[in-house]
Amino acid sequence: MGYETITIDTSGGVCTVRLNRPEVRNALGLETRYELRDFFTKAGEDESIRCIILTGNGPAFSAGGDLSQMEGLDPFKGRKRLQSGHAMIQSMIQLEKPIIAAVNGAAAGAGVSMALACDMILSCSSAVYIQSFVKVGLIPDLGSIYFLPRLIGRHKAMELMMTGERITADEAHRLGLINRVVNDEMLMEEAQKLARRLADGPAHSIGLTKKLINRSILADLEHTLEEEGLAQGICFHSDDFSEGRNAFFEKRKPNFRLRVEE
Protein backbone atom coordinates (compact mmCIF):
# COMPACT_ATOMS: atom_id res chain seq x y z
CA MET A 1 0.00 0.00 0.00
CA GLY A 2 1.62 3.28 -1.09
CA TYR A 3 0.56 6.29 0.97
CA GLU A 4 1.81 9.87 1.31
CA THR A 5 0.72 10.82 4.84
CA ILE A 6 0.87 7.51 6.72
CA THR A 7 3.43 4.72 6.93
CA ILE A 8 2.62 1.02 7.19
CA ASP A 9 4.79 -1.75 8.67
CA THR A 10 3.50 -5.31 9.16
CA SER A 11 5.33 -8.04 11.03
CA GLY A 12 4.07 -11.18 12.72
CA GLY A 13 0.43 -10.30 12.22
CA VAL A 14 0.81 -6.83 13.77
CA CYS A 15 0.52 -3.80 11.49
CA THR A 16 1.88 -0.50 12.80
CA VAL A 17 0.31 2.56 11.16
CA ARG A 18 2.04 5.88 11.79
CA LEU A 19 0.55 9.27 11.03
CA ASN A 20 3.40 10.87 9.11
CA ARG A 21 2.97 14.65 9.03
CA PRO A 22 5.18 15.62 11.97
CA GLU A 23 5.73 19.11 10.54
CA VAL A 24 2.07 19.89 11.36
CA ARG A 25 1.86 17.62 14.42
CA ASN A 26 0.07 14.96 12.36
CA ALA A 27 -2.96 17.13 11.65
CA LEU A 28 -5.74 15.17 9.97
CA GLY A 29 -5.96 16.74 6.54
CA LEU A 30 -8.28 15.38 3.88
CA GLU A 31 -5.57 13.22 2.31
CA THR A 32 -4.79 11.57 5.66
CA ARG A 33 -8.47 10.83 6.22
CA TYR A 34 -8.81 9.27 2.76
CA GLU A 35 -5.64 7.23 3.21
CA LEU A 36 -6.65 5.93 6.63
CA ARG A 37 -10.09 4.98 5.35
CA ASP A 38 -8.49 3.17 2.41
CA PHE A 39 -6.05 1.35 4.68
CA PHE A 40 -8.65 0.21 7.23
CA THR A 41 -10.97 -0.95 4.46
CA LYS A 42 -8.23 -2.99 2.78
CA ALA A 43 -6.94 -4.30 6.11
CA GLY A 44 -10.17 -6.20 6.53
CA GLU A 45 -9.24 -8.39 3.54
CA ASP A 46 -5.53 -8.70 4.35
CA GLU A 47 -4.92 -12.01 6.13
CA SER A 48 -1.39 -10.95 7.12
CA ILE A 49 -2.92 -8.31 9.41
CA ARG A 50 -4.49 -9.56 12.64
CA CYS A 51 -4.06 -6.49 14.87
CA ILE A 52 -3.28 -2.82 14.18
CA ILE A 53 -1.36 -0.23 16.19
CA LEU A 54 -2.13 3.41 15.33
CA THR A 55 0.43 6.00 16.43
CA GLY A 56 2.15 9.18 15.27
CA ASN A 57 5.59 10.12 13.99
CA GLY A 58 7.27 12.95 15.85
CA PRO A 59 6.38 14.43 19.24
CA ALA A 60 2.57 14.49 18.78
CA PHE A 61 -0.09 11.86 18.22
CA SER A 62 -2.35 14.23 16.30
CA ALA A 63 -3.20 17.92 16.55
CA GLY A 64 -6.64 17.20 15.10
CA GLY A 65 -8.18 18.86 12.05
CA ASP A 66 -5.91 20.76 9.65
CA LEU A 67 -7.06 24.38 10.01
CA SER A 68 -5.07 25.38 6.92
CA GLN A 69 -7.65 23.46 4.85
CA MET A 70 -10.69 25.06 6.44
CA GLU A 71 -10.87 28.52 4.91
CA GLY A 72 -14.08 29.61 3.20
CA LEU A 73 -16.21 26.60 4.16
CA ASP A 74 -19.95 27.16 3.85
CA PRO A 75 -22.39 24.72 5.54
CA PHE A 76 -22.49 22.47 2.45
CA LYS A 77 -18.72 22.29 1.94
CA GLY A 78 -18.27 21.90 5.68
CA ARG A 79 -20.67 18.97 5.85
CA LYS A 80 -18.90 17.32 2.91
CA ARG A 81 -15.57 17.74 4.67
CA LEU A 82 -16.95 16.13 7.81
CA GLN A 83 -18.25 13.19 5.81
CA SER A 84 -14.67 12.30 4.80
CA GLY A 85 -13.79 12.06 8.48
CA HIS A 86 -16.93 10.11 9.26
CA ALA A 87 -16.04 7.55 6.60
CA MET A 88 -12.63 7.13 8.23
CA ILE A 89 -14.17 6.64 11.69
CA GLN A 90 -16.74 4.18 10.34
CA SER A 91 -13.99 2.16 8.62
CA MET A 92 -12.28 1.80 12.00
CA ILE A 93 -15.46 0.79 13.80
CA GLN A 94 -16.50 -1.68 11.11
CA LEU A 95 -13.10 -3.41 10.83
CA GLU A 96 -13.39 -6.80 12.55
CA LYS A 97 -9.81 -6.62 13.79
CA PRO A 98 -8.58 -4.87 16.96
CA ILE A 99 -7.04 -1.40 16.69
CA ILE A 100 -4.78 -0.16 19.48
CA ALA A 101 -4.07 3.57 19.72
CA ALA A 102 -0.53 4.16 20.99
CA VAL A 103 -0.78 7.83 21.93
CA ASN A 104 2.82 9.04 21.75
CA GLY A 105 2.21 12.72 22.54
CA ALA A 106 -0.45 15.41 22.47
CA ALA A 107 -3.86 14.37 21.15
CA ALA A 108 -6.11 17.33 20.38
CA GLY A 109 -9.54 17.78 18.82
CA ALA A 110 -10.16 15.20 16.12
CA GLY A 111 -6.94 13.47 17.21
CA VAL A 112 -8.76 12.52 20.42
CA SER A 113 -11.79 11.46 18.38
CA MET A 114 -9.62 9.14 16.29
CA ALA A 115 -8.09 7.58 19.41
CA LEU A 116 -11.57 7.07 20.90
CA ALA A 117 -12.61 5.19 17.75
CA CYS A 118 -9.85 2.65 18.42
CA ASP A 119 -10.60 -0.42 20.52
CA MET A 120 -7.95 0.15 23.19
CA ILE A 121 -5.79 3.16 24.05
CA LEU A 122 -2.28 3.00 25.47
CA SER A 123 -0.74 6.35 26.33
CA CYS A 124 2.75 7.58 27.09
CA SER A 125 2.92 9.35 30.43
CA SER A 126 3.77 12.74 28.87
CA ALA A 127 0.74 12.79 26.55
CA VAL A 128 -2.02 15.34 27.02
CA TYR A 129 -5.61 15.20 25.78
CA ILE A 130 -7.47 18.33 24.69
CA GLN A 131 -11.00 18.81 23.39
CA SER A 132 -9.71 21.87 21.55
CA PHE A 133 -12.65 22.49 19.20
CA VAL A 134 -14.14 25.25 21.38
CA LYS A 135 -10.87 27.19 21.15
CA VAL A 136 -11.54 27.83 17.46
CA GLY A 137 -15.33 28.15 17.63
CA LEU A 138 -16.26 24.64 16.49
CA ILE A 139 -18.17 21.71 17.96
CA PRO A 140 -16.42 18.42 18.81
CA ASP A 141 -16.46 16.22 15.71
CA LEU A 142 -15.49 12.82 14.28
CA GLY A 143 -17.59 11.12 16.94
CA SER A 144 -16.25 12.74 20.13
CA ILE A 145 -19.74 13.95 21.07
CA TYR A 146 -20.87 10.32 20.86
CA PHE A 147 -17.91 8.56 22.48
CA LEU A 148 -16.76 10.87 25.27
CA PRO A 149 -19.96 11.18 27.39
CA ARG A 150 -20.38 7.40 27.25
CA LEU A 151 -16.84 6.91 28.56
CA ILE A 152 -16.54 9.58 31.25
CA GLY A 153 -20.10 10.76 31.91
CA ARG A 154 -22.19 13.69 30.72
CA HIS A 155 -21.02 16.34 33.15
CA LYS A 156 -17.28 15.76 32.80
CA ALA A 157 -17.63 15.54 29.03
CA MET A 158 -19.48 18.88 29.08
CA GLU A 159 -16.66 20.43 31.12
CA LEU A 160 -13.87 19.21 28.85
CA MET A 161 -15.69 20.09 25.64
CA MET A 162 -16.96 23.52 26.70
CA THR A 163 -13.71 24.71 28.31
CA GLY A 164 -11.10 23.03 26.10
CA GLU A 165 -9.19 22.12 29.26
CA ARG A 166 -6.18 19.87 28.69
CA ILE A 167 -5.81 16.80 30.87
CA THR A 168 -2.80 14.62 31.53
CA ALA A 169 -2.50 10.96 30.64
CA ASP A 170 -2.92 10.04 34.31
CA GLU A 171 -6.14 12.06 34.54
CA ALA A 172 -7.41 10.53 31.29
CA HIS A 173 -6.76 7.09 32.76
CA ARG A 174 -8.50 7.99 36.02
CA LEU A 175 -11.56 9.15 34.07
CA GLY A 176 -11.69 5.93 32.06
CA LEU A 177 -10.84 7.61 28.76
CA ILE A 178 -7.79 5.38 28.13
CA ASN A 179 -6.76 1.84 29.09
CA ARG A 180 -3.21 2.25 30.32
CA VAL A 181 -0.39 4.76 30.89
CA VAL A 182 3.21 3.65 30.34
CA ASN A 183 6.60 5.35 30.43
CA ASP A 184 7.33 7.24 27.23
CA GLU A 185 10.24 5.03 26.21
CA MET A 186 8.17 1.88 26.77
CA LEU A 187 5.07 2.88 24.80
CA MET A 188 5.71 1.08 21.53
CA GLU A 189 7.16 -1.98 23.28
CA GLU A 190 4.04 -2.29 25.42
CA ALA A 191 1.77 -1.64 22.43
CA GLN A 192 3.57 -4.33 20.43
CA LYS A 193 3.30 -6.75 23.34
CA LEU A 194 -0.46 -6.24 23.60
CA ALA A 195 -0.88 -6.35 19.82
CA ARG A 196 1.04 -9.63 19.54
CA ARG A 197 -1.15 -11.13 22.25
CA LEU A 198 -4.26 -10.17 20.28
CA ALA A 199 -2.71 -11.26 16.96
CA ASP A 200 -1.97 -14.67 18.45
CA GLY A 201 -5.54 -15.03 19.67
CA PRO A 202 -8.57 -16.46 17.83
CA ALA A 203 -9.18 -13.97 15.03
CA HIS A 204 -12.85 -14.84 14.44
CA SER A 205 -13.70 -14.70 18.15
CA ILE A 206 -11.91 -11.37 18.67
CA GLY A 207 -13.39 -9.88 15.51
CA LEU A 208 -16.93 -10.93 16.36
CA THR A 209 -16.52 -9.72 19.94
CA LYS A 210 -15.59 -6.27 18.62
CA LYS A 211 -18.52 -6.31 16.20
CA LEU A 212 -21.07 -7.32 18.84
CA ILE A 213 -19.81 -4.88 21.49
CA ASN A 214 -19.93 -2.06 18.96
CA ARG A 215 -23.39 -3.08 17.80
CA SER A 216 -24.65 -3.15 21.39
CA ILE A 217 -23.41 0.34 22.31
CA LEU A 218 -22.92 2.25 19.03
CA ALA A 219 -26.40 1.87 17.57
CA ASP A 220 -26.94 5.64 17.28
CA LEU A 221 -23.44 6.57 16.10
CA GLU A 222 -24.44 7.01 12.46
CA HIS A 223 -27.31 9.33 13.40
CA THR A 224 -25.03 11.35 15.69
CA LEU A 225 -22.42 11.75 12.93
CA GLU A 226 -25.10 13.02 10.54
CA GLU A 227 -26.26 15.66 13.01
CA GLU A 228 -22.64 16.52 13.78
CA GLY A 229 -22.02 17.19 10.10
CA LEU A 230 -24.95 19.61 9.91
CA ALA A 231 -23.96 21.44 13.10
CA GLN A 232 -20.29 21.69 12.21
CA GLY A 233 -21.19 22.97 8.75
CA ILE A 234 -22.95 25.91 10.42
CA CYS A 235 -19.95 26.52 12.70
CA PHE A 236 -17.54 26.51 9.73
CA HIS A 237 -19.53 29.42 8.27
CA SER A 238 -19.59 31.47 11.51
CA ASP A 239 -17.71 34.63 12.46
CA ASP A 240 -16.50 32.87 15.58
CA PHE A 241 -14.72 30.18 13.55
CA SER A 242 -13.11 32.82 11.32
CA GLU A 243 -11.84 34.57 14.46
CA GLY A 244 -10.73 31.31 16.09
CA ARG A 245 -8.88 30.16 12.99
CA ASN A 246 -7.13 33.51 12.57
CA ALA A 247 -6.16 33.56 16.24
CA PHE A 248 -4.71 30.06 15.94
CA PHE A 249 -2.38 31.03 13.11
CA GLU A 250 -1.55 34.38 14.72
CA LYS A 251 -0.79 32.59 18.02
CA ARG A 252 -3.07 34.82 20.10
CA LYS A 253 -6.18 34.40 22.23
CA PRO A 254 -9.38 34.57 20.14
CA ASN A 255 -11.87 37.33 20.79
CA PHE A 256 -15.22 35.56 20.63
CA ARG A 257 -18.33 37.65 21.10
CA LEU A 258 -22.04 37.06 20.69
CA ARG A 259 -23.47 38.80 17.65
CA VAL A 260 -27.13 39.73 17.88
CA GLU A 261 -29.05 40.89 14.85
CA GLU A 262 -30.60 44.32 15.32
Dist CA 104 CA 186 (whole Å)? 10
Q: E strands along 104-227, which residues?
A: 106-108, 120-124, 128-130, 166-168, 180-182
Average pLDDT (7-23) is 98
Average pLDDT (50-54) is 98
CA dihedral 51, 178, 103, 144 (to 10 degrees): 100
What average pLDDT is seen over the chain? Answer: 92
Q: Are 180 and 192 in contact (CB under 8 A)?
A: no
Average pLDDT (33-40) is 98
Q: Are 99 and 52 in contact (CB under 8 A)?
A: yes
Q: Are 242 and 78 in contact (CB under 8 A)?
A: no
Confidence of residue 226 (pLDDT cuts 50, 70, 90): confident
pTM, to two decimals: 0.89
Dist CA 79 CA 27 (whole Å)? 19
Confidence of residue 45 (pLDDT cuts 50, 70, 90): very high
| Residue 28 DSSP class | B
pLDDT score of 194? 98
- Whether the pLDDT of residue 192 is over 50: the answer is yes
pLDDT tens for each residue of 102-155: 999 999 999 999 999 999 999 999 999 999 999 999 999 999 999 999 999 999
Dist CA 254 CA 244 (whole Å)? 5
More reliable by pLDDT, 177 or 257: 177
| Residue 46 DSSP class | -
pLDDT score of 232? 84
